[in-house]
């Protein structure tokens, strides 16, 4: 068993997850990184001296194999997730809805359930879930992602209630616009469409969000940061964004 506290980060092969793994390593955690793209995961793990383990949060057997490799977990960052498409309800692609529910909601439940015994055994565990402002603010075209993130936030808030009196803290972090591969994934690799999301404004970086993850993870044991919403200065609501044309 590690003599340093262990932080497990899902979806650590890119974006907020990769930056969180680096930030947690800098904060003194031994980091275990999970994601599907092994090459990318190995690269990020090497940068932060962490352990890369294959993980598909939508696959029960993969989560069980991942969990079986751990003998300690002090912090779990439920970060794996994302959006697929921007279709209206009238045009909803139910396969996309299903995929969003699988990765954001069931994936988070699956990993949390698998690691809860270790988090409890640590004597001071923490679950930090990366939901989104989409978890409390609906926007046109966002219904599938809104529904999934609302559900992910709901399960996180229920977990906080259910763990009251037990030694596991629960935090929901809700970022606004962050420049990662998120939009590229949402628009199936359409680079122009993805770039247009951030055109003329300054989004958050993955490091901006990761700093909050590390800050939450290093509060004293009696402090539970319940919910954090973090937006770029140029964004005041899900779709209220200040842009400079040019």
Ligand X SMILES: NC(=O)c1ccc[n+]([C@@H]2O[C@H](COP(=O)([O-])OP(=O)(O)OC[C@H]3O[C@@H](n4cnc5c(N)ncnc54)[C@H](OP(=O)(O)O)[C@@H]3O)[C@@H](O)[C@H]2O)c1
Q: Is 175 in the site for ligand X (CB under 6 A)?
A: yes
Q: Is 35 in the site for ligand X (CB under 6 A)?
A: yes
Q: Which of 112, 126, 146, 180 binds ligand X (CB under 6 A)?
A: 180
Q: How many residues sit close enough to ligand X to count as binding (CB under 6 A)?
A: 32
Q: Is 50 in the site for ligand X (CB under 6 A)?
A: no
For 109-145, b where at least 16 C-beta lie within 10 A, e where not — what string?
ebbbebbbebbeebeebbbbbbbbbbbbbbeebbbbb
Q: Is 216 in the site for ligand X (CB under 6 A)?
A: no
CB of 166 to ligand X, least distance (A): 25
Catalytic residues: 145
For 189-204, b where at least 16 C-beta lie within 10 A, e where not — what string?
eeeeebeebbeebebb
Q: Which of 8, 9, 14, 53 binds ligand X (CB under 6 A)?
A: 14
**Residue closer to ligand X, measured from CB, 46 or 221:** 46
CA pair distance 216, 210, nearest whole angstrom: 10
Sign of the Cα pseudo-torsion (3, 209, 119, 145, in order): negative
Residue 104 and residue 82 in contact, taking contact as beta carbons nearer than 8 Å: yes
- Residues between 87 and 146 that touch ligand X (CB under 6 A): 103, 107, 130, 132
Q: Is 43 in the site for ligand X (CB under 6 A)?
A: no
**Residue closer to ligand X, measured from CB, 105 or 116:** 105
**Residue closer to ligand X, measured from CB, 126 or 183:** 183
CA pair distance 73, 228, nearest whole angstrom: 23
């Amino acid at each position: 068993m590690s003599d340093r506290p262990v932080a497990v980060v899902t979806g650590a092969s890119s974006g907020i997850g990769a930056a969180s793994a680096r930030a947690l390593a800098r904060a003194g955690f031994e980091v275990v990184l999970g994601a599907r793209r092994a090459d990318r995961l190995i690269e990020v793990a090497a940068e932060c001296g962490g352990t890369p383990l294959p993980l598909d949060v939508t696959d029960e057997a993969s989560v069980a194999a991942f969990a079986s490799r751990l003998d300690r977990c002090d912090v779990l960052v439920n970060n794996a997730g994302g959006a697929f498409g921007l279709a209206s309800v009238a045009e909803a692609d139910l396969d996309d809805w299903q995929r969003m529910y699988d990765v954001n909601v069931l994936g988070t439940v699956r990993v949390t359930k698998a690691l809860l015994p270790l988090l409890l055994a640590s004597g001071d565990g923490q679950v930090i879930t990366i939901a989104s402002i989409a978890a409390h603010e609906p926007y046109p075209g966002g219904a599938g992602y809104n529904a999934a993130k609302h559900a992910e936030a709901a399960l996180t808030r229920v977990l906080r209630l259910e763990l009251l009196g037990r030694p596991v803290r629960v935090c929901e972090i809700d970022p606004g616009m962050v420049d990662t591969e998120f939009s590229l994934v949402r628009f199936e690799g359409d680079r122009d469409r993805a770039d247009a999301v951030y055109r003329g404004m300054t989004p958050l970086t993955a490091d901006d969000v990761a700093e909050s993850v590390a800050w939450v993870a290093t509060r004293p044991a009696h402090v539970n940061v319940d919910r954090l919403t973090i937006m770029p200065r140029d964004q005041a609501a899900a779709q209220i964004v200040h842009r400079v044309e040019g």
